[in-house]
Amino acid sequence: MHTQVAILGGGPAGLLLAHLLHRQGVDSVVLERHPRDYVEQRIRAGVLEQGTVDLLIQAGVGERMQREGLRHEGIELLVDGRRHRIDLREYTDGSGVMVYGQHEVVKDLIAARLDSGAPLLFQARATRLEGLDGVAPRVHFEHEGQARTLDCDYVIGCDGFHGISRASVPDGVFTVFERIYPFAWLGVLADAAPANEELIYAHHPNGFALFSMRSPQITRLYLQCDPDEDLAQWPDERIWEELETRLSCNDGWRLNRGRILHKSVTPMRSFVTEPMQYGRLFLAGDAAHIVPPTGAKGMNLAVSDVRALALALQARYRDGDGDALAAYSRDCIKRVWRAEHFSWWMTSMLHRDEANTPFMDRLQRSQLDYVIDSPAATRTLAENYVGLPWR
Ligand code: FAD
Ligand code: DHB
């Protein structure tokens, strides 16, 4: 098999890149190791930045999102039982975010890819990359029990944090920056109408909690927990009680309970690989960097990487100009570090860290009060939350 661009991974990064390239007349093959229904049902991100929303619409894959997604123009911070609203629209240039599940974006992108007739192989696991430092790389993969190869001009590693792309690069090429947090998120999806129109980020002595949603019928909730938390210790009743404790408000607001449809534990880390390129291999999305989920940057960063790559590959194939491709990592890394900082900052400001000294706890509280009280600090949160403009 031969193509111009081999894309490893059919998550949001790989599927969106394939779609953008197709619109530009660049051929690609997407290899995804899991079956279609698995990737379409994987519950993950839910908040799309303004730029992500605009890009999906411009690329012709935003129609269902515009119909079913929930536009939000504010978020709430809950501290000491009091809710404080951050008006995203007022503190930015009128921007907001869209609450629309990552798996819905993935479904829309898969449908567009299959409609186009361009290749997207499920249950196709890339096993080895060859010739990345030359001009004709080769991807070895397994598909339907058969060993196969894909020859290409470029390999794009969109295969997530545990994929093979990053691991295929010789030692010493990449510098890795990493921080592992001493907590995780226990996430639940509940068959309950969201009891509030906006997301609520709660700071509580028992730990962080987040009230979110997926649709007018489905509530999404998170609780800070230990990284090695055993889900068996969390029967539904305990989850609801803890959510009610951490999300209790002195204005009488209460959650709606409902059947819990899904539970999971997500560890939290910050991770950056520099540079995001080696020879003809380019890394995008979680393959190159991870953020802790607080502030909802992960998928949005994956989208901004592949937007840059699509433009660079267009310049290369249409105009024969490889400059943007050569500058890909340098151009993306500044935004990556902004999102890394914001996610670390939101995480540190809102979670309870048992290793904190009383001094650190007071500093944390001061930072929260400042974000709530100071228009300048509120704006900092708001402009990062909706996403800074693309270059
Ligand atoms: P992935 O989605 O991980 O996709 C990689 C794909 O590659 C997978 O489908 C995998 O099966 C495939 N693959 C791996 N190895 C191979 C191989 N060898 N061969 C072929 N295929 C392979 N982000 C936000 O922006 N907003 C949010 O609100 C948000 N909330 C989150 C909440 C939670 C609980 C979690 C866990 C994450 C959240 N994120 C959020 C982060 C977001 O989900 C990720 O950043 C996003 O999935 C990254 O997309 P990706 O395409 O780079 O990687
Ligand atoms: C969601 C996830 C986040 O990380 C966040 O900051 C807000 C909402 C969510 O999954 O709905």
Residue pLDDT, tens place only, 309-334? 999 999 999 999 999 999 999 999 99
99 pairs with which residues across the strands? Answer: 47, 70
249-262 tens-digit pLDDT: 999 999 999 999 99
122-145 tens-digit pLDDT: 999 999 999 999 999 999 999 989
Can you give the pLDDT at residue 45? 86
* Residue 224 identity: Q
Identify the residue whose C-alpha is closest to ligand 1 atom 47.
299
**What is the pTM (predicted TM-score) of this model?**
0.96
Can you give the pLDDT at residue 391? 74
Residue 245 CA to ligand 1 center (angstroms) comes to 31
* Residue 81 identity: G
User: Is 216 one of the catalytic residues?
Assistant: no
Name the token pair of 83.
């809710």
187-245 tens-digit pLDDT: 999 999 999 999 999 999 999 999 999 999 999 999 999 999 999 999 999 999 999 99
Residue-range domains of the chain with CATH: 5-72+99-177+269-349 (3.50.50.60), 181-267+353-386 (3.30.9.10)
Q: Reply yes or no: is the peptide bond before residue 170 cis, omega within 30 of 0.
A: no
Can you give the pLDDT at residue 39? 97
Q: What percent of the chain has pLDDT above 90?
A: 98
d(CA 120, CA 68): 26
Rounded (10°) CA dihedral 231, 180, 275, 328? 50
d(CA 86, CA 373): 10
Mean pLDDT across 257-273:
97
Can you give the pLDDT at residue 16? 98
Identify the residue whose C-alpha is closest to ligand 2 atom 9.
46
Provide the ipTM.
Answer: 0.95
Ligand 1 atom showing the smallest separation from residue 285 Cα? 52
Catalytic residue, from 91, 100, 181, 201: name it.
Answer: 201
Ligand 1 atom showing the smallest separation from residue 127 Cα? 18
Please determine, for residue 53, whether its predicted confidence score (pLDDT) is greater than 80: yes
Ligand 1 atom showing the smallest separation from residue 31 Cα? 20
d(CA 163, CA 158): 8
329-379 tens-digit pLDDT: 999 999 999 999 999 999 999 999 999 999 999 999 999 999 999 999 999
Catalytic residue, from 91, 278, 317, 385: name it.
Answer: 385
154-173 tens-digit pLDDT: 999 999 999 999 999 999 99
User: Is 328 one of the catalytic residues?
Assistant: no
- 3-class DSSP state of 47: strand
End-to-end Cα distance, the chain: 36
Mean pLDDT across 22-43:
97
Which of 48, 201, 210 is the best mutation target for the ligand 2 pocket, counting ligand atoms within 8 Å of the beta carbon and taking the most? 210
213 lines ligand 1 (CB under 6 A): no
Catalytic residue, from 19, 103, 289, 297: name it.
Answer: 297
Residue 295 CA to ligand 2 center (angstroms) comes to 7
**What is the gyration radius of the CA atoms in the chain, in angstroms?**
21
Residue 58 CA to ligand 2 center (angstroms) comes to 24
User: Is 119 one of the catalytic residues?
Assistant: no
* Residue 112 identity: A
Q: The tokens 């024969």 sit on which residue?
A: 320
Q: Please name the residue ranges forming H helices in the chain.
A: 12-23, 36-41, 50-58, 63-68, 88-91, 102-116, 236-246, 298-319, 323-326, 328-350, 358-373, 375-386
Identify the residue whose C-alpha is closest to ligand 2 atom 5.
296
87-122 tens-digit pLDDT: 999 999 999 999 999 999 999 999 999 999 999 999
Q: How far, in Å, are 44, 128, 351, 355 from residue 231 at the CA level?
A: 17, 35, 20, 24
d(CA 381, CA 91): 9
Name the token pair of 320.
């024969």
Can you give the pLDDT at residue 237? 98
Can you give the pLDDT at residue 309? 98
Identify the residue whose C-alpha is closest to ligand 2 atom 1.
46
- Residue 318 φ/ψ, nearest 5 degrees: -85, -40
Residue 346 CA to ligand 2 center (angstroms) comes to 12
Mean pLDDT of the chain: 97
Ligand 1 atom showing the smallest separation from residue 15 Cα? 51
Catalytic residue, from 12, 19, 22, 72: name it.
Answer: 72
Contact 65, 56 (CB under 8 A): yes
User: Is 334 one of the catalytic residues?
Assistant: no
Residue 301 CA to ligand 1 center (angstroms) comes to 11
User: Is 181 one of the catalytic residues?
Assistant: no
Q: What percent of the chain has pLDDT above 70?
A: 100
Question: Strand 146-151 relative to strand 154-157: parallel, antiparallel, unpaired?
Answer: unpaired
> Pocket around ligand 2: residues whose beta carbon is below 6 Å from it?
45-47, 199, 210, 212, 220, 293-296
Which of 31, 56, 188, 286 is the best mutation target for the ligand 1 pocket, counting ligand atoms within 8 Å of the beta carbon and taking the most? 286
9 lines ligand 1 (CB under 6 A): yes
